[in-house]
Amino acid sequence: MEGGNFVDYVKVCCRSGKGGSGSVHLHRAKYQPKGGPDGGNGGRGGHIILRGNAQLWTLLHLKYRKHVIADDGVNGSGNLKTGANGKDVVLEVPLGTVAKDAETGEIDIEITEDGQEVVWVPGGRGGMGNAHFKTATNQTPRYAQPGEPGQEIWKILELKLLADVGLVGFPNAGKSTLLAAVSAAKPEIADYPFTTLVPNLGMVSYRGDRSFVMADIPGIIEGAHKGKGLGHRFLRHIERNSILLFMVPADSADIKKEYNILLKECKLYNPELANKKRILAITKSDLIDDELKSLLIPNLPRKIPYIFISAVTGQGIEQLKDLIWQTLNKPVLDE
């Protein structure tokens, strides 16, 4: 996924269709000069609909579409003819898309399944024709309902990546290097902070024909839950990951402290992230020998499985895959 083509946030002005007006019409025929009311109903205004599409990975196709406008319903007419409904507008979005009200921030819909369709902004109802209001005491009503107006409202679409494993770490922790080593993904890799500015997805092949999806997400910094660094743009993408793979370099001054900062930022952003399955990978382990590893182990965080890896030499990579697969397929236990 090219960085410039990855779009995970769009704001659009949505206008659903106005309902058609009901018709005021009295039937007239050669041998029926007073045939009574026969005004038809107006058609419904067009809806704005969201549809999940598993083939999409980004909101790029909606980036420059600032206005989404559905057609109005057609007015009713004589001879009990109902007006046509306004044409709906269907917006196809990737799985993991969250639709919100731009003013209140309230979540309207979450699209998580391929083919899932939800009416996002409903069109106005069509008005009833005068035939609808005929009664025994009012044989020839000369009034009908107008159509309901459509809605015009600003909306937001946010993408939260659906992946099995989300990589969590400070900038330059080796996340992109690991993704490139275990999948066909080609993330940008360089020796400076914030090389990764957008998430990258990679399909990791496992034993036999099994596989899982790994997401390399922009590096976190202390205060990210307040929006510092790439802040919320990073954190929302780990909400839907099954496992959080925390990555701390072996040459870190304090591995446990670094892990605790990362975990704290996740919890402050969304307390539910504390319930995610977690693994700790000590990266760049080719820089240390076995003696130094044995000295580091007593100071590692407790109650979390850990593994020493090096994406450059391949050390511990197969064992990491095994650990991820086992963790993916076991229930979450309360700590």
Domain ranges of the chain: 1-159, 165-328
pLDDT band at 230, cuts 50/70/90?
Answer: very low
Q: Are β-strands 97-101 and 67-69 bridged in parallel, bridged antiparallel, or unpaired?
A: unpaired
The whole-model pTM stands at 0.69
pLDDT band at 333, cuts 50/70/90?
Answer: very low
pLDDT of the residue at 53: 94
Contact present, 170 and 92 (Cβ < 8 Å): no
- Return the H-helix or E-strand segment holding 176: helix 175-182
Q: Is the pLDDT of residue 273 over 90?
A: no
Of the CATH numbers 3.30.450.40, 3.40.50.300, 3.40.50.460, 3.30.930.10, which one belongs to the domain with range 165-328? 3.40.50.300
pLDDT of the residue at 100: 94
Contact present, 174 and 248 (Cβ < 8 Å): no
Average pLDDT over residues 221-238: 54
Which homologous superfamily is 1-159 in?
GTP1/OBG domain (2.70.210.12)
Contact present, 242 and 164 (Cβ < 8 Å): yes
Q: Is the pLDDT of residue 262 over 70?
A: yes
Least confident piece of the model among 83-92, 136-145, 235-244:
235-244
According to DSSP, the residues that pair with 107 across neighbouring strands are 100
